[in-house]
Structures are given as C-alpha cells and as structure tokens.
A and B are shown apart, each in its own frame.
Chain A
C-alpha cells in the first residue's frame, strides 16, 4: 500500500471523524442495549442517592446535635472572684468583654447572667436570682416552666419545691423580704414586698429550690434601685453562663484564655459533662458515616461490577469480532471504561436528584430542619459514582481484553 502524505487539515478531519465514530459506537451500545444500561445506571443511582442522603444527614445532624446540646444549658460558666474589677459583681462592660472573648473563638454562643441574693419568705430563707428572662429561657429550653416567665416588676417564677413548701399556686402572691449579708435575727420579720407568682419551674436540679425575678425587681428589693454600690454602680452578676458551640479542645482553650486574663478577676470553668457528650456523639456520628459510606461504596462496586461483567459476557462475540477487525486491547478497554463512566455519571445525576428529595423529606420530618441545595455535594457524589463505575469495570474489562477472537468466532 502506498503511503499517503496527510496535511494538518487532513489529520484534524480524520481525528474528528474517528472521534465521531467512537461516540457513535458508545451511543449505540448504551441506547440500543437499554436493559443492561438501565441496570448499570440503577446500580450507580442507588449508591449515589444513598451516599448523598447520608452525607446530607451527617451535615445536618451534628449541627442539630450542637443546637440541642446548647438547649440543655451552659457548657461554660464564668464566676466573679469578688475581688478587683468584680468585687461588686460582674458589671455589664465586663460581661460584654467576656462575651467578646467567647465569640473570638469563631463559634456561636448564647449567654445568660445571674445575680444571686438571699431572701426570706414566710420566715424561711431562699435563694433568689435576678435574671433577664429572655436570655435564660433561650439557653435553658429544657426547663419545664408552667405559667409564664416574670416580665414585669414584682412578678416571680418559683421552683416547684418552693411552691410545694409555701403551698402557693400560680396567680397567688407571696411576701418576699431581703436578707442583707450582715443582718441578724431577721427571721421573724414579716415585712417585705408582695410579689405575684406567675409561674413554676421544674428541672430536677437546684432550680427547683430557687426564685427568679427580673434584675429590676431584684434591684428594687435589695434597695439598689437608683442607688449605687461601692464604686457608684449597682451590684453586677455573680455568674455568666455560656452555651458555646465550641467543644472539646476548643472549649478548654477558651477556658484557659479567660483564666489567664487575671485582670478580669473572673474564673471560667467548662461544664465538662455536656461538652464531652456533645463531642463524643458527633465523633460517633462521623465514624458511623464513614463506616456506612465504605459499605455503600463496596456495595455499589459489587453492583456495577456484576452488571459490567454481565455486559462483557453478553458482548463476547462482539469483542472477539472487534479484535478480529484489528481493535487493540487498549481501544476496547477505553470503550468500556467510557461506557461505564457514562453509566456512573447518569446514575450519579439521577441519584443526586433522588437523594435530594429523600434527604429533604427525611431532614424535614425526622430532624425538623430545613435544607438547602448543596451543589458541591451533588457534584462530588456524581464524581464518586463515575469513579466507582470505572473502578468496578477494571476486572470485567481485563476479562474482555483476554477474549481470544479465534475461540469466540469459531463456528463448529
């Protein structure tokens, strides 16, 4: 055969023509052998959809867990040292300063301040806390409050133990007297301020033995309304409780940072029980996610590989024929890998669509949260599905390249 000299334009045209033929063969194999193609796509679809749902849930659930944990109260408590800057309690500017330090970690937070004083009701002493009801309510969602929170002056929320001992019900009034630190023999005093019981609180903890009023009510009761303390200020909070999204090492670091600031005259302490529980649950979920993901990847590999093996077996004669026509093992492998990758991409795209729907319903109904479209995760799932399909084809394609055309085309 004589060798023809080809120009660059000729070579480009040849390449284009052969590329078009390559895609014609792939298209024919996929569209005209639908049943096998559908099986391969379904195998990829199931894998991609399950992976997508799992990852979506694993993104949402730790966030949900963190939020739920935060509702179970503080994981960081800052108390006054009763010296220096906090000798008269933690003043508003110090609360803000401490809060800025907590926020500087990059994690979200909610907080509530408590100022404690001793009061007398029916000749018995109780601890009364001055609070901002909105702050305390948003941080302690697990508090079982019957009635309402104190919102106006001389309204009181009492613990269920206190209510039982005083035999009072919501709507009734009690007389509350302030017991000063240096007071002696005030136990028989009957004077005080009439306060209306607007609600009872039950937590199973110390809160059941406490009385809660607004800061303004406590100021008025303790005679600090419009008055000044030692430094011309009313007494500040005794405790700031933080519910921070930080946990584990991040939380420990925050505690150290606050305690290292000696000039603040406060002491920070992590509520280890909650922060550790939060961290370990999230760690467990993450581990579970990886284990289930690996199982899904393995199952998808098996599913696609089985389908591809079946496709190769069904096309033995065709592969033998192609080899007889001069096809190299490499060209046959490329055709099968591209075909598999397309099954993976198609299955991945459909899987992400199905997975999005399932994840939306699941997260909405089970976890009661909204989800947004996660394009990055969808693209990653499609890429993983295509990769799995190609990897799953390695063995079947090797099998295809070993097919002996003389054997499969033998006509006896």
Chain B
C-alpha cells in the first residue's frame, strides 16, 4: 500500500539514467524523483546535461541505460509513437525560443495542441489565453506579438491539455525583466493550483523561485538546494532524505557524495 501511495505521489522517477554518445556521457547514472506538485529547477553550466535531461523527461529522447518512470509507467523502452502519446498526455512543453507556428494566430497555436491531443475547443483555448492575460491578442500572429506575449501563448499552449508536468527550458531566457516577472507569476499561480513544474535555467532568480533546485555537472547530479523547508520535509517523508550536498561545493562528484552517504 505504501509503495502504491509513493508511486502515485511521485510523478517522475529517473533510476540510474545514463545517456551516452560514443565516449561522451551526456548524463551519467542520474537518479531523481519528483513528487506531484513540486516546483523543481535544474541548473548547471552549458554542456552539463540539462537539455539532455529535459529531452528524456519530455519523452523526446530515450536513455541509453536506466529507467524513466512517468506516473508509474516505465517509458524507457517505448517506441516513438508511444512516446508521442505519453508526451501529449503528460507533458506541457515551454521553450526558450517560444516555437510558435508562425502562420497560425495565438488562438490557433493553442488549438493546435488540442488538435494533436484530442479535440479542438475554441472556448477552452480562449480561456487559456485569458489566464495568461492575452485574450485580446488571440487573433494576432506571433510576428505581431512581443517576446513576452509569445512566451505566454506558449504557456497557454502547454497548459491547454492539463498536463501532469509543465517542463520549461529557459522560459525567461529571451525575455526582459518585466516579462520575466509576468511568466514567473504565472508559474507561481500554476504551482499553487497543483501543477508539477520543472524548469531548466541558467538564471538564479528564476531557479530560486522553485521549491527545490538541483545542479548538474558533466552529466552528474552534483548538488541540491531546498528553498521551501515544508516541501523538503514532505519529500523526505515520501522518498527519503537526499544524499546530495548543497551548491556550495559544485565540484564535489556524485560518487563522493554517494560514498559519503553510505558511511
């Protein structure tokens, strides 16, 4: 019973996941659990494996070793089409470069996600745009929107199918400060509503908004920091205490950390 509760409360679990390209270990034996409703930030320098990790969580890529369990289902061995099904049902994606279909209006871009998911509902799509404050820009093309507005359309598109996880890759990377605040406020609201949010970012301000931050270095998980003690206690009650060190010692390898914990 306890295991069942744990699996239903842990929305994402990566178990000793590696992604290997020839000699390069883009991800190296990474283990990570994310409970339902947690806001997690993944930080690290360029080449640390953040994007590879994001692609694997988003079912855009598969691990070379280890397993990825999403909502209790191991997706590591699924075929491309099955991964696409998991992706559209479980994950909402937000990209740094927005990636809107340039020849479709804001409303049509949101409806495109509905189209590939299940059924198009214009009123729901308009409602999603209203939630991100863009109802009056619904019939504008992306080229007629500012960067901040485009990113908000992306968030509306990511949320339209009520995904379990909102996965955002540098969501504020191309935005000015004002728009960054708007997007972060949106994330806060979504988090309060119970959405699991995973944000890959360079930005310490964005990362610090999360309940939990993890740091990657050369494909290894090298550090963890909690910004919300209540969330930490809840996590440890569910998963167990973390063996990782904090960010103060980013050079500390995961191996050292693990051996330390064994002692």
Residues of A within 8 A of B (CB): 1, 14, 17-18, 20-22, 24-25, 28-29, 31-33, 317-318, 320-329, 331, 404-406, 409-412
Q: Which residue from chain B places its CB closest to the CB of A320 in the assembled complex? A: B99
Interface set, chain B 99-155, CB cutoff 8 A to A: 99, 101-104, 108, 111-122, 141
Q: With A33-B103, A411-B51 known to touch, is A406 a contact of B61 (CB < 8 Å)?
A: yes
* Nearest-Cβ distance from residue A324 to partner chain B, whole angstroms: 6
A21 pairs with B120, CB closer than 8 A: yes
A325 pairs with B112, CB closer than 8 A: yes
Q: Enumerate chain A residues within 8 angstroms of B122, measured Cβ to Cβ.
A: 17
A22 pairs with B115, CB closer than 8 A: yes
Interface set, chain B 158-180, CB cutoff 8 A to A: 162, 169-170, 173
Pairs A-B, 4 closest by C-beta atoms: A326-B88, A32-B103, A406-B60, A14-B119
Stretch at the interface among B34-42, B89-97, B181-189: B89-97
The 8 Å CB contact of A324, one of B60, B81, B89, B97, is B60
The 8 Å CB contact of A28, one of B51, B103, B157, B169, is B103
Q: Enumerate chain B residues within 8 angstroms of A25, measured Cβ to Cβ.
A: 101, 104, 108, 112, 115
In the assembled complex, 17 residue pairs joining A and B whose CB atoms fall closer than 8 Å, in A order, are A14-B118, A17-B119, A20-B120, A21-B112, A24-B104, A32-B104, A32-B141, A33-B103, A323-B84, A326-B85, A329-B81, A331-B116, A409-B60, A410-B55, A411-B95, A411-B97, A412-B46
Q: Enumerate chain A residues within 8 angstroms of B121, measured Cβ to Cβ.
A: 17
* Alpha-carbon distance between A24 and B170 when the two chains are bound, in angstroms: 30
Q: With A18-B120, A326-B116 known to touch, is A406 a contact of B55 (CB < 8 Å)?
A: yes
* Alpha-carbon distance between A320 and B103 when the two chains are bound, in angstroms: 15
The 8 Å CB contact of A322, one of B60, B95, B114, B116, is B116
Q: Which residue from chain A places its CB closest to the CB of B119 in the assembled complex? A: A14
B108 pairs with A28, CB closer than 8 A: yes
Q: Enumerate chain B residues within 8 angstroms of A329, measured Cβ to Cβ.
A: 81
B99 pairs with A29, CB closer than 8 A: no
B97 pairs with A327, CB closer than 8 A: no
Say yes or no for B17: interface residue by CB 8 A criterion. no
* Alpha-carbon distance between A327 and B101 when the two chains are bound, in angstroms: 14
Q: With A20-B120, A25-B108, A411-B97 known to touch, is A324 a contact of B46 (CB < 8 Å)?
A: no
* Alpha-carbon distance between A327 and B85 when the two chains are bound, in angstroms: 9
Q: Enumerate chain B residues within 8 angstroms of A18, measured Cβ to Cβ.
A: 115, 119-120
* Alpha-carbon distance between A31 and B105 when the two chains are bound, in angstroms: 13
Q: Other than the known A18-B115, A32-B104, A325-B116, what 20 A-B pairs have Cβ atoms closer than 8 Å? A: A1-B89, A18-B120, A21-B111, A24-B104, A24-B111, A25-B101, A25-B104, A320-B99, A321-B101, A322-B101, A324-B93, A325-B87, A325-B112, A326-B113, A326-B117, A327-B116, A405-B60, A406-B61, A409-B99, A411-B51
* Alpha-carbon distance between A320 and B99 when the two chains are bound, in angstroms: 9
B169 pairs with A411, CB closer than 8 A: yes
Q: Enumerate chain B residues within 8 angstroms of A406, measured Cβ to Cβ.
A: 55, 60-61
Q: Which residue from chain A places its CB closest to the CB of B169 in the assembled complex? A: A411
Q: Which residue from chain A places its CB closest to the CB of B108 in the assembled complex? A: A24
A325 pairs with B119, CB closer than 8 A: no
Interface set, chain B 171-212, CB cutoff 8 A to A: 173
* Alpha-carbon distance between A20 and B97 when the two chains are bound, in angstroms: 28
* Alpha-carbon distance between A22 and B119 when the two chains are bound, in angstroms: 11
Q: Enumerate chain A residues within 8 angstroms of B119, measured Cβ to Cβ.
A: 14, 17-18
* Alpha-carbon distance between A31 and B157 when the two chains are bound, in angstroms: 23
* Alpha-carbon distance between A321 and B46 when the two chains are bound, in angstroms: 23
* Alpha-carbon distance between A410 and B114 when the two chains are bound, in angstroms: 23
Q: With A21-B120, A28-B104, A405-B60 known to touch, is A411 a contact of B84 (CB < 8 Å)?
A: no
Q: Enumerate chain B residues within 8 angstroms of A412, measured Cβ to Cβ.
A: 46, 51
* Alpha-carbon distance between A405 and B169 when the two chains are bound, in angstroms: 14
Q: Enumerate chain A residues within 8 angstroms of B156, measured Cβ to Cβ.
A: none
Q: Enumerate chain A residues within 8 angstroms of B108, measured Cβ to Cβ.
A: 21, 24-25, 28
Q: Enumerate chain B residues within 8 angstroms of A24, measured Cβ to Cβ.
A: 104, 108, 111
* Alpha-carbon distance between A404 and B61 when the two chains are bound, in angstroms: 9
Q: Which residue from chain B places its CB closest to the CB of A19 in the assembled complex? A: B120
Q: Enumerate chain B residues within 8 angstroms of A318, measured Cβ to Cβ.
A: 99, 101-102
* Nearest-Cβ distance from residue B71 to partner chain A, whole angstroms: 10
Q: Enumerate chain A residues within 8 angstroms of B118, measured Cβ to Cβ.
A: 14
A321 pairs with B99, CB closer than 8 A: yes
Choose among A322, A324, A329, A404 the residue with the greatest number of B CB atoms under 10 Å from its CB: A324
* Nearest-Cβ distance from residue A48 to partner chain B, whole angstroms: 26
Q: Which residue from chain B places its CB closest to the CB of A13 in the assembled complex? A: B119
Q: Which residue from chain B places its CB closest to the CB of A331 in the assembled complex? A: B116
Q: With A317-B99, A406-B61, A409-B99 known to touch, is A21 a contact of B84 (CB < 8 Å)?
A: no
Q: Enumerate chain A residues within 8 angstroms of B162, measured Cβ to Cβ.
A: 1
Q: Enumerate chain A residues within 8 angstroms of B61, measured Cβ to Cβ.
A: 406
Say yes or no for B254: interface residue by CB 8 A criterion. no
Q: Enumerate chain B residues within 8 angstroms of A20, measured Cβ to Cβ.
A: 120
* Alpha-carbon distance between A24 and B112 when the two chains are bound, in angstroms: 10
Say yes or no for B216: interface residue by CB 8 A criterion. no
Interface set, chain B 25-75, CB cutoff 8 A to A: 46, 51, 55, 58, 60-61
Q: Which residue from chain B places its CB closest to the CB of A4 in the assembled complex? A: B118
* Nearest-Cβ distance from residue A318 to partner chain B, whole angstroms: 5
Q: Enumerate chain B residues within 8 angstroms of A328, measured Cβ to Cβ.
A: 81, 84
B120 pairs with A325, CB closer than 8 A: no
* Nearest-Cβ distance from residue A22 to partner chain B, whole angstroms: 7
Q: Enumerate chain B residues within 8 angstroms of A33, measured Cβ to Cβ.
A: 103
* Nearest-Cβ distance from residue A153 to partner chain B, whole angstroms: 85
* Alpha-carbon distance between A31 and B117 when the two chains are bound, in angstroms: 25
* Nearest-Cβ distance from residue B156 to partner chain A, whole angstroms: 13
* Nearest-Cβ distance from residue B18 to partner chain A, whole angstroms: 17
* Alpha-carbon distance between A406 and B114 when the two chains are bound, in angstroms: 21
Choose among B46, B81, B84 the residue with the greatest number of A CB atoms under 10 Å from its CB: B84
